[in-house]
Structure 1
Amino acid sequence: MTSPTPCRLALAVQLSLLLAVPATAAAQDAAEERTRTLDAVQVTGTRIKRAEIEGQVPVHTVTREDIDRSGLTSIGDVIQQLSGSGSALNTKFNSSGNFGFPPDGGGVGAGSAQVDLRHLGSKRVLVLVDGIRWVNEASASGVGASTDLNTIPLAIVERIEVLEDGASSLYGSDAIAGVVNIITRQDFDGGQVTLNYGEYGEGDGAVKGFDFAWGRTTERSNLFLGLSHVDQGVVYSRTREQSRFPVPGTGVAFGSSGTPNGRFRFLDPSCPLVDHDNDPATPPINLCDITTPNGTSFPDGVDYPEDFIAFGPENLFNFSEYNLLMTPSERTGVFGQFRFDINPGLQWYAKALYNRRESTNQAAPEPIFLGPSAGTGNPLADEITISALNPYNPFGFDLVSGENLLLLTRRPVEGGPRVFEQEVDTTYFNTGLVGSFDVRDTIWFWDVNAAYSKNKAQQTNYGSYNIFNIALALGDPADCAAVTGCVPMNIFGGPGTLTPEMLAWIQPVVRDESENELTLVSANLSGDLFRMPGEAGYVAFAAGYEYRKYEGRYQPDPITVRGHYNGVPSLPTSGEYDVNEVFAELNVPIFADSPLGKRLDLNLAGRYSDYSTFGGEFTPKYGLRWQVTDDFLMRATYAEGFRAPSIGELFGSDSRFDAQLDDPCSEPLPDPSLEANCRALGVPGGYSQPNPQISITTGGNSELDPERARSFTTGFVWSPWFASGAGWSERLDFEVTFYRHSIEGPIQALSAQAQLDECVETLDPLYCDGIGRAVTGDINAFNNRLTNLGSIKTDGWDVDLYWTLPAGDAGQFKLAWQNSFVGRYEAVGGAGQRQPREPGVEVEDSAIPEWTSTASLDWTLDAWRAAWTVRHISELTEACGRAAAFPVCSDQATGTNTLDATTYHDVQLGYRFDWMRGLELTAGVNNVFDKDPPICLSCSLNGYDASTYDIPGGRFWYLRADLRF
């Protein structure tokens, strides 16, 4: 199937308008049937408690039945399967130790599950729980600006409402791409115990869990208690053929030059003369680039030169077999809420939650990179001297950075893999009063709320190294002997030559901490102001005030702060800010029961926010809801929004992340016309990039401005009269929405690959000033900072169909088919250069499919229930990069690879026993046909895009038992 063009969809909208005819009422005029209880309807997307507001904005509701049908155990995984979701972190991302620290100061979010709507990033989605903001994540690697959905137990969720529209005027900052409102269970009588178990077809990745829920409702009170535990098992990359090597189909060609046998690049008169392809601008040098044969070990010392060989591609290290395809995660949550009616017009409530997440990431044994070409940014490594007196130095002379030492690498497999264990504690308390009062013939609702929430995380890192101790152990033995515990280090002898005493000196346990806190107070008022002339109804009104205080800090281990950590360096971050906000919303009925239609409403909203960090911001919103007939509704909204810079973005200290980059100056040049520019940058002829993993220095920027956005949506909902109560259809609904988002000055750093490419192509100091190179041409410095950069524009269509068939002897069928089509996605840098992300393209571990689709068919018959779900992702393309020379690149001529369209099938079958209040047994299989994801050559880990596809070998079966009593 091909994606419909916007013109075709516009034609479909016009045709639907022509076909729409009056029918039985699909929406009631609730203006004459006033809701006079404290539980008046308030839907996500409006602050007005009026039932007929529903349908004014595009809200997708994920019901409890939808959640159970998915067979998933995480809110993040459930939302990421929505067709409008983009790339976001989940437990398939083995992030610690591989991605380093992103520019936003938020850390890597290890073990978290986030939500991305419209491919605009998780920081631009606001997450609410029962309409109240949820605290940002903490994963002990920074001060996060996204919400970790793994801090909210799935068992306490009644439904999830996803507003796919800009909503800053209603909810404030962060609601640029949309709002996810998680509604918890309230009206619950009796108890429920749920047990579940599942695993992958390969016999790994077992998921075990239990949920307990109990509630009691009386005339004046409501109590709900919930307990949830989920244990997600591990899946190792080495168990899947697709993920065993850094890039599938290329062996170790894209492995690391940090190898167990080491790589030694230095200058010495006895080394071979390298003339740089007779480049007159670069004098010849005597360059040694050597190693010892793979697998060899020299515990008693290496003899130079007889024990060494030239370093070649076959000596690169396969780090992938140590990675994880599914990271283990254990989550336990306790939740309770109580509501008490003080009198018929006043209710008090309280809610509390505690959640503990214990998760683990794993990476290959940590490499040690030394010398000026290492580019670590740490002078202890980049400016090291290895003494000739070191008893294990085979060369007989000092190796001095900046003089004769260029690069020395060694991966001590003796120390084991890097293991990162996270413990994240979430606490939440919310209390308030909800009331109502009468004003003449109308009822007004009010509420006051106070909430405090906190995420606190500790990460313990095993398998990393102390570069200060390494430098001391490689230096003068006399200096080492003067320090208790120091022993000379054998970095040259190959695998197995680091003794337990050496490891004890250089290998610490590293502990980092971070936390985010949110304190919130709000007050809201909603009611009817006055009746419009004729039969139009009441002008509805809502207004409110909200105060929020954000506090965040990140505290790395003391050895990291001192600069002694061999891994990715970082410094402490801390900051706080507060905001005072007022908002107002009006819903103005223009007409009702008119020749122009059943009803037309104008919705107006505005919010003023005063931030302690940058001042005031006003955001308006305008909406129209036109009930043309009983069965045909049209709507449109225009909104302005903003996102305030986060604590990490404002106050984040210098840190580093490691990117997989292809140097355009590496031979063979991808574009021969770049040769002169490469020489101008100091890259000698014949240069070959020694290591694709480049260290990028980044950090926050206190001068950042808010991102500013404009959003527009329009569409219709059609429930045709002839499909309601008919012999072939009980109900049929079509929903079509067009969306457009535009963000000016998005807070971001230029893509590191784009910065490098622009530098080589233009020689513009804007791009080149942050990039340094060694005399050999190697990149040894790369500065990449946050700024308000350019713009992001995207638009597309949502086309959904819901069909309920009449019940009969064969049972009842329900079909839901949701589709998202991305028409445009353009990210432009500050100088007008296009960024590589666009529809149909895979880049930087994320994809924007032109078409994503989810169709589910439900069947019920007496005690039986079954479901079949189809998930589809359209074709993508990517640049093969240096893999263009390998057959795995599908189009070697153009250097591009096609990720074929992928379709997954999930099935589920359940039976309900009439025992106690009901015992239901359910069995299901996700990815029934064991469809592997398409090979991704540009992805950083595991050979596929973990935010878009199921894991390789991803057939997953599960059993669930649900008892109500």
Structure 2
Amino acid sequence: MRYLAGDVGPRRSDIESTFTRALIGVRGSHIGWDWDTSLLYSSSRVSNDRNGFLQRDATFALLNPTPTNIATAIANNPGYRALPVGTVWRIGENAFLNSPAVYAALSPEISNDAKTEIAQLDFKATREFGRLAGGPLGVAVGAEFRHESAELEPTTGTERGNIIGLGYSAYDGQRNVFAMYGEVLAPVWPGVEVTGAMRWDHFTDVGNAYTPKVGVKWTPARQFALRATWARGFRAPSPAENGVGGLAAFTNASDPVRCALGVQVACNPANIALITSPNPDLDPERSKSYNVGIIWDPLPRTSISLDYWQIKRKNEINQEQIPAAILAGRVARDPTTAQAGIPGDPGAITAVLASYVNSAQTKVRGLDLDARHSMPLPNGFGNLVFDAKWTHLFKWLRTERDGTSQDFAGTHGNCDVTNCVGTPDNRANLRATWERSNFRLSANVNYRGKIDNTLFKDDPEGCASHFANGNDAPTDCELASFTTVDLVFRWKPQQKWEVFGSIQNVFDKVAPLDPLTYGAVSYNPLDYAGAVGRLFTLGARYTF
């Protein structure tokens, strides 16, 4: 039996955000160098006050007033201590008999604060040297110092696991970063440019990084160019990943321990809590990437570019694999759910305790196509501009340290990275824009390709979700492709006035069923417009 606690009232959040940014800079030219330097400070502070969440200790004591439940609530809940002895929570049709003091004990206001700060000082300079066959040699150098800090305080009561439906999430960390870099642009001969760059970073929490980059561009004709780049990359762990604290979420997972004991219900994925803890021993992520592409301008107002790329990351920072954490015993269980007659049944998993780890590597390979064409309209009716962007993923292969590999391209998997948004292997955006003087109207077509509802390619477990009768969910275990159309306009009737608006999801398309998605809301976050429906916005802006 489930009781929705409607008498407590809706869950409400009052969020107040304050963003501060200050920047001062100086620039000049001396001995052939153009230079500038700046000092930046920015901070973001967010406070979140919430209502409508139930306190576990008061709920248990008011619904089931055993001596243990009462003692726990008296020790931890001031609102409960203020209630008369023998008070209970009346639910359903008798809820009107509850006093305001009962609800004050059940659902007091809870809150948390978050803040991030960045202070940065940088200096950069550029100049040209001599002259090569294709033109002068360009040089750029720079240096910077940056202090970063981030803190998320836990929501009131979650540090004791006392808020029903809301897990513990908090982190705290700070560091200093020093960096120096240089770049050279060499037009070695007409139509050929070679670039090279090197950057050094020092992080006080994870050490040094050297990241080079080289590139070449060949333009044999004005309408055609070939380009290629190769680079190394570096990403230091964030405070949420190597600081202190932990993040709460939900995930879908089966229970191999109970399944092996013969508990059939444990063999199917279920929605359980997930607590991910920072890992101070994390190494930075390092990557190698390359890109090969062409640029073709077949007509004066037409441009097409096609790029084939690959990114290979080592020591990728990911959430620990959920099955690995379960098999290692890092779980919390409810022993009261153990099935009678099955010896050794430990009860259902209520939460998985995982940490951030360095996975062996991830290799992502894809193809990007960009096209643009503009055409003037007769009699001064402005211009039509057409844009197209398409991305295809060939591979999203993650290999763990034990040598096991999973390819997520085109599947719903990789939930610990995408929050179960999935990894569609085809996505496209088409846009047609009419521009005339002070008016612009655009029609945008957004396309998401189909997604196999499996955790990874060729998953031996088959479909990740099932209907009550056991059939694959959705039908054929495939999340259908989804396309929406938006209209956006902007009009400036006067220099200082601007009127703007949009119609999102013009044809009111409904998002396809997605039972695996984060939070079990039955639609994919990529298809948000199809869950909201047709949406109108209208606004105006005046500049003083």
TM range (shorter): 0.7 to 0.9
Q: What amino acid sits opposite 2:242 in the alignment?
A: L
Equivalent in the alignment of 1:69: none
Compared with structure 1, are the counterparts of its residues 504 and 704 closer, same or farther at alpha carbon in structure 2 (3 Å cutoff)?
Answer: same
Paired residue secondary structure (2:44): strand
CA distance in 2, matches of 1:703, 1:630: 52
Compared with structure 1, are the counterparts of its residues 741 and 485 closer, same or farther at alpha carbon in structure 2 (3 Å cutoff)?
Answer: same
Paired residue secondary structure (1:952): helix
Cα shift at 1:771: 3.6
Question: How does 1:901-920 map onto structure 2 within 5 Å?
Answer: 901-907=481-487, 916-917=494-495
- Among 338, 341, 352, the residue aligned to 1:782: 352
CA distance in 1, matches of 2:304, 2:512: 32
Cα shift at 1:423: 1.4
- Among 119, 127, 134, the residue aligned to 1:536: 134
Q: What amino acid sits opposite 2:38 in the alignment?
A: N
- Among 411, 421, 431, the residue aligned to 1:856: 431
CA distance in 1, matches of 2:46, 2:199: 33
Q: Does 1:515 align with 2:115?
A: yes
Equivalent in the alignment of 2:392: 821
CA distance in 2, matches of 1:427, 1:890: 47
CA RMSD of aligned residues (A): 3.3
Contact 1:817 1:853 (8 Å CA) reproduced: yes
CA distance in 1, matches of 2:51, 2:204: 40
The more displaced of 430-439 and 492-501 is 492-501
CA distance in 2, matches of 1:705, 1:737: 31
Contact 1:659 1:695 (8 Å CA) reproduced: yes
Q: Does 1:801 align with 2:371?
A: yes
Paired residue secondary structure (1:931): coil
Deviations 1:695-733 (A, max 9, x none): 22321111111011111111111113xx22xxxxxx111
Q: What amino acid sits opposite 2:278 in the alignment?
A: G
Cα shift at 1:862: 7.0
Question: How does 1:143-158 map onto structure 2 within 5 Å?
Answer: none
Contact 2:395 2:408 (8 Å CA) reproduced: no
Q: What amino acid sits opposite 1:499 in the alignment?
A: N
Cα shift at 1:734: 1.1
Cα shift at 1:572: 5.5
Equivalent in the alignment of 1:485: 82
Deviations 1:542-569 (A, max 9, x none): 1111101011222235544466545545
Deviations 1:335-363 (A, max 9, x none): xxxxxxxxxxxxxxxxxxxxxxxxxxxxx
Deviations 1:20-42 (A, max 9, x none): xxxxxxxxxxxxxxxxxxxxxxx
Q: What amino acid sits opposite 1:590 in the alignment?
A: V
Question: How does 1:96-115 map onto structure 2 within 5 Å?
Answer: none
CA distance in 2, matches of 1:481, 1:821: 59
Equivalent in the alignment of 2:342: none
CA distance in 1, matches of 2:407, 2:140: 43
CA distance in 1, matches of 2:393, 2:481: 15
Compared with structure 1, are the counterparts of its residues 863 and 490 closer, same or farther at alpha carbon in structure 2 (3 Å cutoff)?
Answer: closer
Q: What amino acid sits opposite 2:466 in the alignment?
A: A
Paired residue secondary structure (2:242): helix
Q: What amino acid sits opposite 1:876 in the alignment?
A: I
CA distance in 1, matches of 2:169, 2:474: 44
Equivalent in the alignment of 1:454: 43
CA distance in 1, matches of 2:533, 2:16: 27
Contact 2:474 2:513 (8 Å CA) reproduced: no
CA distance in 2, matches of 1:719, 1:786: 46
Equivalent in the alignment of 1:946: 525
Equivalent in the alignment of 2:270: 692
Consecutive unaligned residues of structure 1, counting only runs of 5 or more, are 1-256, 261-410, 593-598, 667-674, 725-730, 760-766
Paired residue secondary structure (1:846): coil
CA distance in 1, matches of 2:209, 2:490: 52
Equivalent in the alignment of 1:421: 14
Equivalent in the alignment of 1:626: 218
Q: What amino acid sits opposite 2:121 in the alignment?
A: V
Residue identity (%): 21
CA distance in 2, matches of 1:423, 1:912: 32
Cα shift at 1:740: 0.9
Cα shift at 1:780: 4.4
Compared with structure 1, are the counterparts of its residues 637 and 556 closer, same or farther at alpha carbon in structure 2 (3 Å cutoff)?
Answer: same
CA distance in 2, matches of 1:911, 1:552: 40
CA distance in 2, matches of 1:912, 1:449: 34
CA distance in 1, matches of 2:489, 2:61: 64
Q: Does 1:499 align with 2:98?
A: yes
- Among 138, 148, 156, the residue aligned to 1:550: 148
Deviations 1:863-894 (A, max 9, x none): 775433322222222145452445984676xx
The more displaced of 857-866 and 579-588 is 857-866
Cα shift at 1:414: 2.7
Q: Which has the higher strand share?
A: 2
- Among 704, 715, 723, the residue aligned to 2:293: 715
Equivalent in the alignment of 2:67: 476
Q: What amino acid sits opposite 2:198 in the alignment?
A: G
CA distance in 1, matches of 2:142, 2:317: 29
Cα shift at 1:691: 10
Q: Does 1:743 align with 2:341?
A: no
CA distance in 2, matches of 1:781, 1:869: 42
Deviations 1:59-88 (A, max 9, x none): xxxxxxxxxxxxxxxxxxxxxxxxxxxxxx
Contact 1:746 1:790 (8 Å CA) reproduced: yes
Contact 2:465 2:472 (8 Å CA) reproduced: no
Compared with structure 1, are the counterparts of its residues 917 and 898 closer, same or farther at alpha carbon in structure 2 (3 Å cutoff)?
Answer: same
The more displaced of 539-548 and 941-950 is 941-950
Q: Does 1:465 align with 2:54?
A: yes
TM-score of the pair, normalised by structure 2: 0.83
Equivalent in the alignment of 2:460: none
Compared with structure 1, are the counterparts of its residues 418 and 797 closer, same or farther at alpha carbon in structure 2 (3 Å cutoff)?
Answer: same
Consecutive unaligned residues of structure 2, counting only runs of 5 or more, are 340-346, 455-462
Contact 2:473 2:515 (8 Å CA) reproduced: no
TM-score of the pair, normalised by structure 1: 0.49
Q: How many residues align?
A: 509
Q: What amino acid sits opposite 2:116 in the alignment?
A: N
Deviations 1:160-207 (A, max 9, x none): xxxxxxxxxxxxxxxxxxxxxxxxxxxxxxxxxxxxxxxxxxxxxxxx
